[in-house]
Amino acid sequence: MTGDGVGRAPLVTLRPASVSDLVTLGDIEQRCMGPDAWSREALAAELGAETSAAETSAAETRAAETRAAETGAAETGADEGGVRPTRYAVVAERPGGVVVGYAVLLAVATTADVLRVAVDPAHRGRGVGRALLADLLAEASRRGCDAALLEVGVPNSAATAMYRAAGFTEIGRRPRYYAGGTDASVMRLPL
Ligand SMILES: CC(C)(COP(=O)(O)OP(=O)(O)OC[C@H]1O[C@@H](n2cnc3c(N)ncnc32)[C@H](O)[C@@H]1OP(=O)(O)O)[C@@H](O)C(=O)NCCC(=O)NCCS
């Protein structure tokens, strides 16, 4: 799949993330998320979950599980007799194979959580984030999810605008959700 550069930049190619992307994604994670960045171990768990067992590793996952409990949905990380990956992780590559962004989805029962959309600062404003988000939402639909949820920092105007442009609307707030005490806006999109 290719992202829509809308004439502003070369197209990016989207492909599933793998453990070989760990170092690059860890660097982008640090540059994008600051004090809220996933540790290398947490990121490894997200990518490992894509190809093997589903693991819980991050605050976002705990929030998703809380929501699942609130809505009566069961955590179904593993099907009987086999592993059912609950994560989907995708990277965006420029021509030449340079990874410039990535995104992670958690699908639990019929609800999908957008855990991450991150684009390296040097490559923003060219449609990469929009392409990554669209890919996550398409995957959520393929998995039979009927809604997508996410948290975004209230002051994070770029991400909030991106999510609103995709159709997400705010359904609540989580006070002091992020490091440093920043509130999160909880947003939802029916699929
Ligand atoms: C949010 C983020 C992923 C956007 O990535 P991007 O590649 O620059 O976004 P795009 O170029 O695809 O823009 C998509 C839409 O986002 C919004 N947007 C992006 N940058 C914006 C900015 N600086 N100000 C306002 N809106 C902005 C716009 O609605 C834009 O659509 P438009 O170009 O038609 O106006 C990027 O800024 C980022 O990685 N931020 C840090 C990580 C983060 O906060 N992630 C979200 C929470 S996990």
Strand order in the sheet with 147-153: 13-16, 87-94, 98-108, 111-119, 147-153, 184-190, 169-174
Strands annotated E in 21-86: 78-79, 82-83
Query: Which positions of the chain have pLDDT values less than 70?
Result: 1-10, 48-84
Atom of ligand 1 nearest to the CA of 164: 29
18-55 residue pLDDT tens: 989 999 999 999 999 999 999 988 888 887 644 343 34
Domain ranges of the chain: 13-146
Atom of ligand 1 nearest to the CA of 128: 7
Does the predicted TM-score (pTM) go above 0.75?
Answer: yes
Q: Whose CA is nearest to atom 12 of ligand 1?
A: 127
The pLDDT value given to residue 44? 87
Among 162, 164, 182, which is best to mutate for testing ligand 1, by the most ligand atoms less than 8 A from CB?
162
176-186 residue pLDDT tens: 999 989 999 99
Atom of ligand 1 nearest to the CA of 119: 39
For residues 8 and 123, the answer to whether their CB atoms sit within 8 Å is no
- Classify residue 151 as exposed, middle or buried by CB count within 10 Å of its CB (0-12, 13-18, 19+): buried
Q: Does domain 13-146 have CATH number 3.40.190.10?
A: no
Residues whose beta carbon lies within 6 Å of some atom of ligand 1: 32, 116-119, 124-130, 152, 156-159, 161-162, 165
The pLDDT value given to residue 40? 87
The pLDDT value given to residue 70? 54
